[in-house]
Amino acid sequence: MAGELNDKLNTDRSVLLTLSNFATLDLIGGLSLNSQLTYVYDSNKKNFYEPSTIRPEGDGFASYALYNRNNVNADTYFSYFNSFGDGSHNVTAVLGNRVDFNQYENMRLSAIGFGSDAIKVINGRYTNDEISGDTSIESNALLSYYGRGSYNFKDRYRISGTYTRDGSSKFGKDVRWADFYSISGAWTLTEEPFLEPVLPDFVSYLKIRASWGVNGKQMGSNNARFGAYNLGFGGNPSGYWANQMNRSTYAGVTGVIPNYNRMANDKLSWEETEQWNIGVDLDMFNRRLNLTFEAYNKKTDQLLFDTTFPNYSGYNYAQANIAGVLNYGWEAQVRYRVFPAVSDWKLDLMLNFSKNENFVSKLPNGNRDYINTNQNYGYVVGLPLNLYRMFVNDYIIDDLSQLPVNPFTGQPLTGKSAWAAIRPGFPIWRDLNGDYLLNEDHDLKLATEFSPIPDIQGGFNINFQYKGWYLQAYSQFSFGADIKNTVLNAYMDAYDRTGDAWARRGLADLSAHTFWEKPGDGAAGVDFPALYPTTGSIGGPFYGFRGNQTLWIDSGDYWKITNAAFGYTFNKSETFMKNIGLSRLRIFASVLNPYQWQRSKKVVDASMVDFQGNTYGNGYPQARTISLGIDTKF
């Protein structure tokens, strides 16, 4: 593998320039006028080449990307602070205006079809089918008027509030402005005289807090409210899909047609979320043991959502603020300082964990169920987000006599006519509607028993120090999530496609898995169905390794050490440090991703999943990186 990776190119160069100035003018009695102006230039250039030896397609792939961002931010505000009553009463207030402007320039280019891995850059020899790219220039602006204030009494009672009126260029002129606000309060019980006799002596600090507010989120796209057009590709016919019916040229001229997957909607606006939180902070044993707990509830009612249209309307999709989601859960943290503060030995242990639940609270068309047949997921009011839509695997067939028989026709269970006939070694899916015919129309279901949301997740960290020596280890864990082995599915699916796809993309190392090879293997519980490279002579594919089946669902349980470091910091007062003119000297070694435990034996890395629980990484785990270094300051 090391030799195969030698042909890989992966450079990533970045330039980040930040210029900022801040000025303040003291006026009267704790009132001041403040101004901050910031300019940021961010540029990133990437060159990438993946050699043919490690790609499933058996052909090289190159890409080039250039990204530039210019940001100007101007913030002008009045601030006020006053303390009175011998310092018992403290008041702060801020009133201001903020302008934020961003301009983006992007260029992307990619190509396949490299005859030799010695060529790692994109040149002019590629055909239209082998090369693709695009450029874009976009900008957005945000204008805000805001105010916030707080009051506390002897650090015992605290109340604060905020108000913001935001206007975004991403939205239509009639809906671009929105008001957001919040209020919060806290009560420090250990500062309360009448509770002092009641609280145990080991309680050093106890505070309860609560907050409520409404905030807003802009959509990611700068121009989603506009309609769009498709351009032709110089004579390459494309776009026959759905109801677009577009050819790319007309009379030899590049065609420009509406994009029927994107309807203009100048009513697109902010996604507004109402949230409340309640929490407690507790320190015990002279603050050596710290406990924090917080519960939350987040309700989003104006979520952007793609709504579908019938074909006769002329358009396929349009976005609108018409969906709702409710998230709720809790977060907790425990931190323990093992040794007293005066000791040369220091050992801090920190454990944090959280639990989140969600469900769909609103959908368009009278809360009608939404099923995405292309991506095989769905949304149902009252059920969690991102449910898989799948065939349910019952067994791998060893003998055709195992097939259930229709009592009315005497015919055994079969697949739809476009599939190959069932034979031993094939997966048998559950016939949900009982018609003895397996097909996508009736036997795909939302797998409500599987969810990519963990039952619990968190991390455990260790920080140890003795004089100049230190040892740090940081870890994270997740338990209870169901994930989909998308990477392995992509490899195996090539064996069940017509043509030479299995030869070009399916020749992967699958020795770690067991497959059906002979009658009895299904009953013995092998991992996967038979690997039958499909040819036209056997009647087409059965799609036995299709992605939308429970075969690929696996446990997402894992615990991994993400970073470990060890080092020594020299005391700057030591003689040799003074002799060589150093004010700081530290030597260290660190390792990224040194260890991972996971329950699944089929998934390469259970920590590498997206929000829908799909694995990624092209079959490779996160890299283990070892670093040795010296940190000095003169």
DSSP characters over 266-314:
TT---EEEEEEEEEEEEEETTTTEEEEEEEEEEEEEEEEEEEE--GGGS
Residue 367 backbone dihedrals phi, psi, to 5 degrees: 60, 30
Nearest CA-CA partner of 490 in 343, 633, 617, 624: 617
Q: What is the pLDDT of residue 234?
A: 35
pLDDT tens figures, 61-78: 888 899 999 999 999 999
Q: Look up the pTM and report it.
A: 0.81
Q: What is the pLDDT of residue 288?
A: 94
Q: Tokens 């040369």, residue?
A: 344
The one-character DSSP state at 420 is P
Q: Out of 243-257, 380-394, 528-542, 576-590, give the one with best mean pLDDT.
A: 380-394
Other C-beta atoms lying within 10 Å of the C-beta of residue 235: 11
Q: Residue 485 is encoded by which pair of tokens?
A: 């082995």
Nearest CA-CA partner of 424 in 456, 402, 450, 406: 402
Q: What is the pLDDT of residue 469?
A: 94
pLDDT band at 499 (very low <50, low <70, confident <90, very high): low
For the cut 90, the answer to whether the pLDDT of residue 369 exceeds it is no
Contact 423, 398 (CB under 8 A): no
Mean pLDDT of 606-628: 89
Q: Residue 69 is encoded by which pair of tokens?
A: 């961002």
pLDDT tens figures, 411-470: 999 998 878 889 899 999 999 999 999 999 899 988 888 989 999 999 999 999 999 899
In order, the DSSP letters of 564-601 are EEEEEE--TTSHHHHHTT-SEEEEEEEEEEEEEEES-S
For the cut 80, the answer to whether the pLDDT of residue 354 exceeds it is yes
Residue 487 backbone dihedrals phi, psi, to 5 degrees: -65, -50
Q: Residue 190 is encoded by which pair of tokens?
A: 């250990």
CA 186, CA 156: separation in Å to the nearest integer?
8
Q: What is the pLDDT of residue 85?
A: 85
Nearest CA-CA partner of 386 in 363, 356, 358, 367: 358
Q: What is the Cα 330 distance to its own chain's centre?
A: 20
pLDDT tens figures, 91-114: 999 999 999 999 999 998 888 876
pLDDT band at 149 (very low <50, low <70, confident <90, very high): very high
pLDDT tens figures, 537-595: 455 678 888 999 999 999 999 999 999 999 998 877 777 767 777 777 889 999 999 99
Mean pLDDT of 217-244: 64
Q: What is the pLDDT of residue 39?
A: 98
What's the first-to-final CA gap in the chain, in angstroms?
43
